[in-house]
Amino acid sequence: MSPTVVRHSKQIVEEHKRLRESLSRIQSMVVKPPEASRRSGWLKDLAAELTDLEPRLKAHFEAEEKSGFFDDITESWPGTSDICRRMMGEHESLLKAVSDVCGTAAGPATLDETSFRSLLERAGLLIRDVSRHVERENDLMFRTLEGGPAAQD
């Protein structure tokens, strides 16, 4: 077990759990969109969820990058340097996507059908991409905690 990765893991696992809870709430809204006449309240609720998620996601990514979490993984398991770089690269694009979807949801209270469909699609992709990021990171962290390369299979 890697003692340096252990010191980050508890907090990261806890934050991932809370992020997943937010994503799950957002997903349940997106899979059951309201009829046109009830969209403005729904957009307000979606904007509130995303406005809550955005700063937490930003703080989480910053903590991962600045705490040395990825450096510790790479140090414990040198073969992971490429994937760690990719994971850090995803932070920027995921934050941009949250901000983009949040901006639309918090925008005009009425959206035409095309804009509304586009919002649903982008929100769905955002949920998928953040969820995948969190899953891959958990997997990387747990494998490193279990001993790294020897535990790959």
Which one, 64 or 72, has the nearer CB to Fe ion? Answer: 64
Min. distance of Cβ 61 from Fe ion in angstroms? 5
Q: Least CB distance from residue 65 to Fe ion, whole Å?
A: 8
Give whichever of 122 and 136 is closer to Fe ion, judged by the CB atom: 136
Pick from 9, 106, 5: nearest CA to 53? 106
Say how many Å lie between the first and final Cα of the chain, rounded.
Answer: 16
From the list 25-33, 65-73, 121-129, 132-140, the region that binds Fe ion by CB under 5 A is: 132-140
**For residues 45-84, which are near Fe ion according to CB under 5 A?**
64
Q: Which stretch binds Fe ion (CB under 5 A): 37-45, 94-102, 118-126, 136-144?
A: 136-144
Q: Between residues 36 and 125, which has the closer beta carbon with respect to Fe ion? A: 125
Contact status, residue 30 vs residue 120, Cβ threshold 8 Å: yes
Q: Which CB, 72 or 137, lies closer to Fe ion?
A: 137
* Least distance between Fe ion and beta carbon 40 (Å): 33
Among 97, 137, 141, 144, binds Fe ion (CB under 5 A): 137
Count of all residues that appear for the chain in the document: 153
Nearer to Fe ion, 31 or 59 (CB): 59
CB 125 within 8 A of CB 153: no
Q: Answer yes or no: are the C-beta atoms of 23 and 57 closer than 8 Å.
A: no
* Smallest separation, CB 2 to Fe ion (Å): 17
Angle (deg, nearest 10), helices 39-66 and 69-76? 50
Tokens read off for 85: 């770089």
Helices 3-30 and 69-76: angle between axes, nearest 10 degrees: 120
- Applying CB under 5 A, the residues found at the interface with Fe ion are 64, 137
